[in-house]
Amino acid sequence: MLRDKEKKLIRELWERLIPVAEDIGSDALLRMLVTFPGTKTYFSHLDIRPRSAHLRSHGKKIVLAIAEGAKDISQLTVTLAPLQILHAYQLRITPSNFKLFSHCMLVALACFLGEDFTPVTHAAMDKYLSAFAAVLAEKYR
Amino acid sequence: MVEWSDQERSIITSIFASLDYEDIGPKALSRCLIVYPWTQRYFGGFGNLYNAEAIKTNPMIGAHGIKVLHGLDRAVKNMDDIKNTYAELSVMHSEKLHIDPDNFRLLADCLTIVIAAKMGTAFTADIQAAFQKFLSVVVNALGRQYH
């Protein structure tokens, strides 16, 4: 699915994004909550107003997990095993929402990287986020 | 009928008023063909689509991207009746072009990302939401006459 060149591109890009994990993560989350209001149903326990501490820390958590997976994409199932269990048995987020979040992450990256978010980078990122979401939902049924 | 707030209307008209069609049109279409390569099936007569560079610099694709982007102008001018505004175009996309309507959504997503890259942080969550709402109404209208 992901070619070696793409895995390298993804790995290097996410390494660059770790220092701004909170910014990118909270931006992507906010975009999702505002653009797709149905996703707010999963956050009744958090303060999801723009720039809230909850939004920032939750966004950071998600980005760091994505960055961790990017370090060795061929080991995604191993790296994400604990998160698979969390999502399948506790969070039980309807999997179609992963697509909505992935899209908003792509938009957040486009805003952040501007012209550097080239079509090739976009394609590789879309593939990686799809693979990530698929692994995350693997233990659902 | 779709309800538009004043804020949403002004966001949409302002985005299109300051849009550089010659820049954004080609970028959006070529991005769609690169990120979702199966969409190239509709562009058999458009010359070299062999790799990302070829697609990005292909003049036929560029010209078509501008044409498609201008196709949105009528929706901007008729936001209260996008469904009927595009009835004929929908029939054409179904019966003449035979385009799978799910691909309209893919192009809309690529357009959103191209505009996000251009506007940077000025493309706020609220602006994104309004823009995506507009595009989803357009996408629905274009798919409506398929049978």
- Assess if residue B1 is contained within a domain: no
Pair A55, A29: CB distance under 8 Å: yes
Q: Does A47 touch chain B (CB under 8 A)?
A: no
Judged against a pLDDT cut of 90, whether residue B147 lies above it is answered with no
Find the mean pLDDT for residues A92-103: 93
Instruction: State the average pLDDT over residues B12-35.
Output: 97
Distance in angstroms (rounded) separating the CA atoms of residues B24 and B69: 8
Per the domain annotation, does B23 fall within a domain? yes
Which of B126, B128, B134, B139 to mutate against chain A (most A CBs within 10 Å)?
Answer: B128
Q: Which residues contact A84 (CB under 8 A, 6 or more apart)?
A: A77, A135, A136, A138, A139
- CATH code for the domain in which residue B62 is found: 1.10.490.10
The pair of three-digit structure tokens given for residue A26, joined into one six-digit string: 């909270």
Give a yes or no: residue B84 inside a domain: yes
Rounded to 10 deg, the angle between the A119-136 and A53-71 helix axes is 100
> Residue B54 domain-assigned?
yes
Interface subset of A 110-129, CB within 8 angstroms of B:
110-115, 117, 119-120, 122-123, 126
B97: buried, middle or exposed (CB in 10 Å: 19+, 13-18, 0-12)?
exposed
- What pLDDT shows up at residue B75? 97
Q: In this predicted model, what pLDDT tens digit does every residue of B84-139 receive, in sequence order?
A: 999 999 999 999 998 989 899 999 999 999 999 999 999 999 999 999 999 999 99
pLDDT at B1: 80
Taking the C-alpha atoms of residue B108 and residue A136, their distance in angstroms, rounded to an integer, is 26
Q: What CA–CA distance (Å, rounded) separates B13 from B73?
A: 10
Taking an 8 Å cut-off on Cβ atoms, the answer to whether A34 and B35 are in contact is no
- The DSSP symbol for A49 reads S
Q: What CATH number is attached to the domain comprising A116?
A: 1.10.490.10
Write out the residue range of the structural domain in which residue B76 sits. 6-143
pLDDT tens-digit readout, A122-132? 999 999 999 99
The tally of domains found in chain A comes to 1
Instruction: Summarize pLDDT for A27-48 with one digit per residue, the tens.
Output: 999 999 999 998 998 998 999 9
pLDDT > 90: percent of chain A: 91
Burial B60-74 (b: 16+ CB within 10 A, else e): ebbebbbebbeebee
Q: Domain count for chain B, please give it.
A: 1
Average pLDDT on B12-31 reads 98
Mind telling me how many Å the CA of A55 is from chain B's nearest CA? 14
pLDDT in tens, B62-76: 999 999 999 999 999
Whether the CB-CB separation of A63 and A24 falls below 8 Å is answered with yes
